[in-house]
Amino acid sequence: MKASAGRGGDPAVGGVQAGVRVALLTRAGCHLCDDAREAVVRVTVDVGVGWKEIDISTSADLADAYGDRVPVILVDGREHGYWKVEETRLRRALTVGRWGWSRS
């Protein structure tokens, strides 16, 4: 797994990090992952939530589960989308809620 300061810390050391709501599943050499990373940064900085990046090649289970669908975006541990970040939809999921009702 890969994460850095400002993105929720090291998940391997601290487990689930407070404030981290978005996980971006990637793989080295994936140009779509580069684009997704930029979009996730824009949205999470704007909304004020943390995120982490996880390289699926570090886990056989993740590689089996997600294969060539990377990048995959998870919000609060649930799959939100893959291949392309829909910034408006991601922002809405983080502020209003996945199904359109307000977050408490």
Q: Between β-strands 50-55 and 78-82, what pairing exists: parallel, antiparallel or unpaired?
A: unpaired
pLDDT tens for 26-74 read 999 999 999 999 999 999 999 999 999 999 999 999 999 999 999 999 9
- Asked whether the predicted pLDDT for residue 25 surpasses 60, the reply is yes
The answer to whether residue 8 scores a pLDDT higher than 70 is no
Q: Break the chain into its structural domains and give their ranges.
A: 11-95
| Residue of 72 and 16 predicted with greater confidence | 72
pTM above 0.85, yes or no: no
Residue 78 β-bridge partners: 75
Superfamily of chain region 11-95: Glutaredoxin (3.40.30.10)
Exposed, middle or buried: residue 92 (CB in 10 Å: 0-12, 13-18, 19+)?
A: middle
pLDDT, position 99: 54
